[in-house]
Amino acid sequence: MTTETSEITETSETTETGRIPERLTADLSTADLSTADLHEALEAPALSSMNLLNEIAGHYPQAVQFAAGRPGEEFFDLEDVHAYLRAFTDHLARDRGMSPAEVRRTLYQYGRTKGIVHELVARNLAVDEGIEADPESVVVTVGCQEAMYLVLRALRTGPEDVLLAVAPTYVGLTGAARLVDMPVLPVSGGADGVDFDDLVAVARRARRDGLRPRACYVMPDFANPSGLSLTHAMRRRLLDVAREEGLLLLEDNPYGLFHGGEERTPTLKALDEHRTVVYLGSFAKTALPGARVGYVVADQRVADAAGRIGLLADQLSKIKSMLTVNTSPIAQAVVGGKLIAHGCSLVAANVREHQAYSRNLRQVLDGLAARFPAGAPGSAGVEWNAPTGGFFVVMTLPFPVDDALLEHSAREYGVLWTPMRHFYDGPGGENQLRLAVSTVAPEQIDLGLDRLKALITEWSK
Amino acid sequence: MTTETSEITETSETTETGRIPERLTADLSTADLSTADLHEALEAPALSSMNLLNEIAGHYPQAVQFAAGRPGEEFFDLEDVHAYLRAFTDHLARDRGMSPAEVRRTLYQYGRTKGIVHELVARNLAVDEGIEADPESVVVTVGCQEAMYLVLRALRTGPEDVLLAVAPTYVGLTGAARLVDMPVLPVSGGADGVDFDDLVAVARRARRDGLRPRACYVMPDFANPSGLSLTHAMRRRLLDVAREEGLLLLEDNPYGLFHGGEERTPTLKALDEHRTVVYLGSFAKTALPGARVGYVVADQRVADAAGRIGLLADQLSKIKSMLTVNTSPIAQAVVGGKLIAHGCSLVAANVREHQAYSRNLRQVLDGLAARFPAGAPGSAGVEWNAPTGGFFVVMTLPFPVDDALLEHSAREYGVLWTPMRHFYDGPGGENQLRLAVSTVAPEQIDLGLDRLKALITEWSK
């Protein structure tokens, strides 16, 4: 059986990874290769820390789960996969006029590199996000991770190209950048989500150092891991600053739908008037992770050597053709069917999920307030932020938080969370942890917070 | 509707790719980026020639199709996808003892990076190929293309690392190497499939030039595009030479099952006693392309800086976690279900397909012999090889064969094929073309060959 594990990139590696199979342990003298002979990213913290955290989580499957940033599972239904597949094939026949042979070919055969659900994606963006995207500017990818990789691979032409990223940063972004040998320069997120002075300073310092900052990665809505969201005014300012500094903005938006009931702030892409934003889309939290379907909207105009102008999406498509050829049309059909079943609205498709995440978030925030009342002796130095939506809450504690403490927490107290330092490629987050509210069962939340309080009480002494 | 096109990498790009959308043509002055600002692979012939060929094929959908190296479509059945999914979920419950919630989680949730059908893949390799693979050494990938990419990404540590590849070479391999900035040094394939003297000379010259040849890519069975297969003796010698020269062998085997009725020659991996071979597996031709599921067997032992030894598969898994996270478990389930339905034998699963490909190949070879009899005036300088299996036949003509001739052939004669020069990263194949026998309908073969003969007759004058 597959070992179920936690993760901070939302991947889930088995604990076997890195383990030495029994039969090999007897023969350590005969390695065929050394990691020194392999790409240096394989030694990078972003790729290794994940495995370590997954291993800890894998050892304590009974612990209360505040670590995994995965979607909840309570509404999973196997029959949905069949129903979505049929909805999509019906759509091909009915709405797109395909013959039975064409429908079969579309599902079975090699297919369009940019994908077959691009028009449904564009309609979804119009319906849910107010983004008017040309379907030709959409590249459907193997999850959002491949979308990030395609963009970074395209932008990295040599050692001078660097990426800026608002810190703390999603580990999957940092790892993808390592794989294309592209340094990531952290920009302080501060208390509000982006420190603009630092953004400008980092970009200018990089240019002074002979580097070429190409883009800045940002998650404006309920960011992973900070939980922070940018205000409308900050979004407008970010677009202006990016333009002034010649940066593309890589907007990642996996959690925007799961807001707290307030009116949603427009995405950067919805506000983008100058094609400054490359929009990275995920269906993992809003449709199903197992489809591994994401996308990128890349409407930037690219001039080739002959002066012809095309879309950045078509350049990304060329890269994709050499990376994964195309995204499984069967997997796309499952997501496409879910979109069709809900009028292309993922808001409509996620009413139950949205309620569940909001309920969990409220329970966690209320539970923290009840256990660490202001002014009480046990509350000294214990703080947390209060996102109105999304999957994550960040706690600051009066002592260092590291993997050893996580292991202690799992073993002695039966509660799992993620040390924030893993989301900093450098100093930062030393006294912080991330609580994810998305997969924990409601009836376990108070138990988990009791255990967390007991840990904090012990460690504060 | 998706435009159906031919391809030489077995991808299928729409003809729209690279086209300037109407609304943009009016505004050529305002490009946001230039291809000079993007990764140089985007200007590489491997990535561009494909688009051009697809465009030609897309313009002549009624032409007889000897270009596309895709699997035939006559046995596609949409209901199979549902049946395979159910077979796999039954297997999880019955054979692996999963609860309904665990089955749902396995299909829906993020999953094991190395995949969930690794044990079925290992059984298939034992049953069909006589390869004894540790399931832990298998990484399930998004098609064989991702498998190639993972291996090249791992092996390329700096500008000194180079790859050898038997020429002519599958374009997807060359393209993947470009994307990791790894030069490909061609090794002459000669008339027998590999020129060993050239292999040794290329490796030694590279080392003399300060380069580090890491591996040699080879397709020993009915290679794409040459159609050639290595004899048993050549395979043994290739293993020895690779070992002497310190090279890994990257064995790609998409067509081995489609032999001509003779006893199959063992794969390199089946003969591999020293973990010299990294085996690249594809289900595109033997299960279904639309699943986009392939795999790599990487049982090489890798020592890390601390002297611990693990499998190369686990290093590839780390890279995969930052590229595509994991292969869609739904897509894996479709392939897994097909394996289960046929006792893990793809030989058993492909009886009808095997017969169809063999019939087409025989008809093409017989048709060529009938139209170009030895000694006849119209046969002067017209030659072809005679593979006993696989998808491809290579013709040599008494005049240069290029894209302009292909376009002429499609427009004036209604027959599509692939200029061999696209498979050489340098000189080679100038007078040759590739005929693919896999997708052409039997009743169209003679018509297509008549048209080809008319073209050759015109052009020979």
* Subunit contact A113:B19, Cβ cutoff 8 A: no
> pLDDT in tens for each of the 461 residues of chain A?
333 333 444 444 333 333 333 333 334 457 899 988 999 988 877 777 777 788 888 899 999 999 989 999 999 999 999 999 999 999 999 999 999 999 999 999 999 999 999 999 999 999 999 999 999 999 999 999 999 999 999 999 999 999 999 999 999 999 999 999 999 999 999 999 999 999 999 999 999 999 999 999 999 999 999 999 999 999 999 999 999 999 999 999 999 999 988 889 999 999 999 999 999 999 999 999 999 999 999 999 999 888 889 999 999 999 999 999 999 999 999 999 999 999 999 999 999 999 999 999 999 999 999 999 999 999 999 999 999 999 999 999 999 999 999 999 999 999 999 999 999 988 999 999 999 999 999 999 999 999 999 999 999 98
Predicted pLDDT at A11? 42
* Subunit contact B108:A11, Cβ cutoff 8 A: no
Enumerate the residues of chain A whose CB falls inside 8 A of the CB of residue B36: 305
User: Which of A46, A70, A81 lies nearest to residue B109, judging by beta carbons?
Assistant: A70
Predicted pLDDT at B46? 72
* Subunit contact B50:A321, Cβ cutoff 8 A: yes
- Probe site for chain A from B49, B120, B322, B338 (most A CB atoms < 10 A): B322
CA distance A127 to chain B (A): 22
Q: Rounded distance, CA A281 to CA A292, Å?
A: 12
pLDDT average, residue stretch B338-348: 98
* Subunit contact A98:B156, Cβ cutoff 8 A: no
* Subunit contact B42:A142, Cβ cutoff 8 A: no
Band of pLDDT at residue B52, cut at 50, 70 and 90: confident
**Chain B residue with minimum CA distance to A73:** B105
Enumerate the residues of chain A whose CB falls inside 8 A of the CB of residue B332: none
Domains of chain B: 22-26+33-74+351-460 (3.90.1150.10), 84-348 (3.40.640.10)
* Subunit contact B112:A78, Cβ cutoff 8 A: no
Note the pLDDT tens digit of each residue in A172-190.
999 999 999 999 999 999 9
Task: Write out the two tokens for B218.
Answer: 């080879």
> B162-165: which pairs have CB atoms within 8 A and are 24 or more residues apart?
B162/B206, B162/B211, B162/B212, B162/B213, B162/B214, B163/B213, B163/B214, B163/B215, B163/B216, B163/B217, B164/B199, B164/B202, B164/B203, B164/B206, B164/B213, B164/B215, B164/B216, B164/B217, B164/B247, B165/B216, B165/B217, B165/B218
Enumerate the residues of chain B whose CB falls inside 8 A of the CB of residue A13: 112-113, 317, 321
Note the pLDDT tens digit of each residue in B186-241.
999 999 999 999 999 999 999 999 999 999 999 999 999 999 999 999 999 999 99
Q: Give the residue, B153 or B260, on which the prediction is more confident.
A: B153
Least reliable range by pLDDT among A413-422, B35-44, B51-60, B81-90? B51-60
Note the pLDDT tens digit of each residue in B265-299.
999 999 999 999 999 999 999 999 999 999 999 99
Predicted pLDDT at B51? 72
* Subunit contact A112:B330, Cβ cutoff 8 A: no
Instruction: Tell me the helix, strand and coil percentages in chain A, rounded to 5.
Output: 45, 15, 40
- Probe site for chain B from A323, A326, A335, A439 (most B CB atoms < 10 A): A323
User: Which of A48, A114, A324 lies nearest to residue B143, judging by beta carbons?
Assistant: A324
Residue B9 reports pLDDT greater than 70: no
Predicted pLDDT at B33? 92
Contact B147, B141 (CB under 8 A): yes
* Subunit contact A76:B104, Cβ cutoff 8 A: yes
Predicted pLDDT at B24? 38
Enumerate the residues of chain A whose CB falls inside 8 A of the CB of residue B57: none
Note the pLDDT tens digit of each residue in A148-172.
999 999 999 999 999 999 999 999 9
Contact B63, B410 (CB under 8 A): yes
Residue B16 reports pLDDT greater than 50: no
Enumerate the residues of chain B whose CB falls inside 8 A of the CB of residue A331: 292, 328, 330-331
User: Which of B157, B172, B308 lies nearest to residue A39, judging by beta carbons?
Assistant: B157
Task: Give CA torsion, residues A245, A250, A255, A260, to 10 deg.
Answer: 20
User: Which of B13, B312, B324 lies nearest to residue A143, judging by beta carbons?
Assistant: B324
Average pLDDT of every residue of chain B: 92
Note the pLDDT tens digit of each residue in B78-130.
999 999 999 999 999 999 999 999 999 999 999 999 999 999 999 999 999 99
